[in-house]
Structures are given as C-alpha cells and as structure tokens.
Amino acid sequence: MNKSQKISITKIAELVGGKIFGDSNAVIKTVARIDEAVKGDLTFLYLPEFEKFADTTQATAILIKPDFKKNRNDISYIEVNEPEKAFASIVINFFPDRYTLEGIDETASIHKSTALGKNVALGKNVVIGSNCKIGNNVRIYHNTVVLEEVEIGDDTILFQNISIREECKIGKRVIIHAGTVIGADGFGYHKDENGVYKKIPQLGNVVIEDDVEIGANTAIDRAALGSTIIRRGVKIDNLVQVAHNVEVGENTVISGQTGIAGSIKIGKNCILAGQVGLAGHLDIGDNVILLAQAGVTKSILKPGIYMGYPAKEAKAFRILEAHNRNLPEYSERIKMLEEEIKKLKEEISRQKT
C-alpha cells in the first residue's frame, strides 16, 4: 500500500457514485478502521456496533449510509448506499496489492525440460520439476516446490512454502498463500482380510481454474481417479481441507477450518462459513449457505440457509433450538398437567361410586 500518494475526496466520490458533505477539496493518503483512523485516512461505517466511533474518529473522510447523522464539521462525509462495497471498490482501485518479487534467484532450481513464460519471477530455493509449463508473469516465492508436469497459468502468484504435486493444473490469476499443499495423496485405504489398512494409489490430480484464491495452510488432495476440481472464481480461506475427488462450483466461498470429505460436489455461488463439516459422497446445490459449524450428513439441493448438526434449514433449526431451551419448563408443565389429570380421574372415580 503506497502511503505517499494523495487521492482527492472528489475522485473517490466519483468512483463510488457518492455525495460529499464537507470539504470536497480534502485528500486522503490511505485507508483504516474507523476506531484506528488518523488524519489523512479514509474509513467507512456500516455496522451499528461501530457507530460509537463516529464522534471520535480522527479520519479525514468517512463513507456513510444516506440516513446517517452528519454532526461534525471537521470531517468529510461521502454518502453511499452500501459503504462496505464502496470501501472495497476504493481499495481495489487505489490501493492494489503489490508483489515486488522480480527475477530468478540464483538458488532456484528449474529442470531443463520445464518451459517458463515471460516475466516469471522465482524466489529463493524454489524447485520446479520436469516438464512443467509456467505461464507469463507468474510469481513463485521462496521455498515453494512444484513437481513434475504441473501447469501454471498467467499472472498467478504462489507464496512461500507451497507444494504443488505432479500433474496438477493451476489456472490464470490464481493466488495461493503460504504453506498450502496442492495435490497431496487423497485419504484412501482398503482394509484387508486381516484388518490391515492398505493404501490405495491416488492416480488423479487437482485442477484449479482461473481467478481462484486459496488461503494459507490449506490442503487440496489429488483425486483417486480423475480430478479434484476447484472451479473459476472460488475463494478458499486458511486451514481448509478439501478431500479427493471433490468438485467446488464457480464463485463459491469457503471459510476457515472447513472440512470437505471425499467425492462431494458443491454447486455455484455457495457460502460455507467457518468450521463447516461435510460427510462424503454428498451433493450441495447452487446458492446454498451453510452457517458456521454446520454439520452436513445428507445432500442439500434446495437453495437457502442451513445451520446446526445435522444441518437443517435455518428457520426450522431455530424453532427446534427454541423448544430445546424451553425443555425444563416444558417438563415442569407436563408434571403439573399429569398431576391435574390424576386428580380429575380420582374425582371422576369418586363420583361414579
């Protein structure tokens, strides 16, 4: 992030279609959280819990919703319908990530049969095996190992300490963060007649399509046969496990500590929140949202929001949870009703005699 630049409030407002209240000649140098911003910073406000900082923030400018009260004269307000989206657009346009790795370090090892594209940069101790195809403008940072017959598309960035196993394919504009392993053997074993687990060779690969980003210390296992596939535009967080023969649909988002068992097919535009767990051989349809710690044991094909274990539609789960919380009260009421019924029966019996 280049903190020496100066960007006018007017230019920012033009980008996001915002309306300025205050000094339209003000300039900002960088962006910051509302509770940490100082003079020269742009910040934004969209969650109610952060409104308490609006009267004390030292930011030069703040993105706000149209209905927010503008009660300060020492700050410039930029009114937009969705401050969080406007803020993201500003960061993308004015503060893009800058990866400075250039050239091929003398410690990098490249097999002579590997084809490097134009403007490839390799950091310290990078190892690239035989018959690989590396596209243009690829950046591979320190201590990353790429084994045989791997294909890596243009404008891809591989950070430190990544392992990409043989025959895997990485698309264009992919970002893979430090410590991730692509193409480790899937968890495949067969128990023989003596109860001993025998390893099943994992003969497939991993295919990662264009515009995918994968977080740190994530593992995507190679298929037993065929391919484990991460479709175009998928975003995967840190510490995610994707098992063999999984297919993740386009533009799906997967949060940290999610575990996806083998041979699951996940549709397009899904959201898997933190610590979601999915049992093997399931189908998840398009536009499914699994809230944090959902445990999925059966296929979910209907679009919607699901939660809990076993995962249910959110509305149904919340109703069940409300009843669960009231079980002690229900128990006492049932006991009282049983006593009343008993007394009524005794009274009826006395009247008959």
pLDDT value of residue 187: 95
For the ranges 57-61, 256-260, 327-331, which has the lowest average pLDDT?
Answer: 327-331
Contact assessment for residue 61 and residue 40, using Cβ atoms and an 8 Å cutoff:
no
The per-residue pLDDT for range 147-168, each reduced to its tens digit, is: 999 999 999 999 999 999 999 9
Q: Which of 142, 244, 281, 323 is catalytic?
A: 244
Q: Does the pLDDT at position 30 exceed 80? A: yes
Question: Among 287, 280, 245, 286, which Cα is nearest to 259's?
Answer: 280
Which residues contact residue 62 at a Cβ distance below 8 angstroms, ignoring those fewer than 6 apart?
34, 42, 43, 44, 45, 54, 75, 76, 77, 78
Residue extents of the structural domains in the chain: 7-94, 109-315, 316-353
pLDDT value of residue 349: 84
Looking at residue 47, the DSSP 8-state letter turns out to be S
323 given a catalytic annotation: no
pLDDT value of residue 4: 60
pLDDT value of residue 2: 53
Confidence category of residue 57, pLDDT binned at 50, 70, 90 = very high
pLDDT value of residue 348: 86
User: Tokens in use for 207?
Assistant: 């295919």
Question: Whole-prediction pTM value?
Answer: 0.85
Average pLDDT estimate for 299-304: 97
Confidence category of residue 98, pLDDT binned at 50, 70, 90 = low
Q: Does the pLDDT at position 3 exceed 60? A: no
The position carrying tokens 């977080």 is 215
Q: Does the pLDDT at position 347 exceed 90? A: no
Percent of the chain with pLDDT over 90: 84
Tell me which fold the domain 109-315 belongs to: UDP N-Acetylglucosamine Acyltransferase; domain 1 (2.160.10)
Average pLDDT estimate for 316-327: 87
Percent of the chain with pLDDT over 70: 98
Instruction: Please confirm whether the linkage preceding 310 is cis (ω < 30° from 0).
Output: yes
pLDDT value of residue 321: 84
Q: Does the pLDDT at position 96 exceed 80? A: no
pLDDT value of residue 8: 94
Which CATH number is 7-94's, of 3.40.1390.10, 3.10.450.240, 3.40.1010.10, 3.90.1570.10?
A: 3.40.1390.10
The per-residue pLDDT for range 245-286, each reduced to its tens digit, is: 999 999 999 999 999 999 999 999 999 999 999 999 999 999
pLDDT value of residue 13: 95
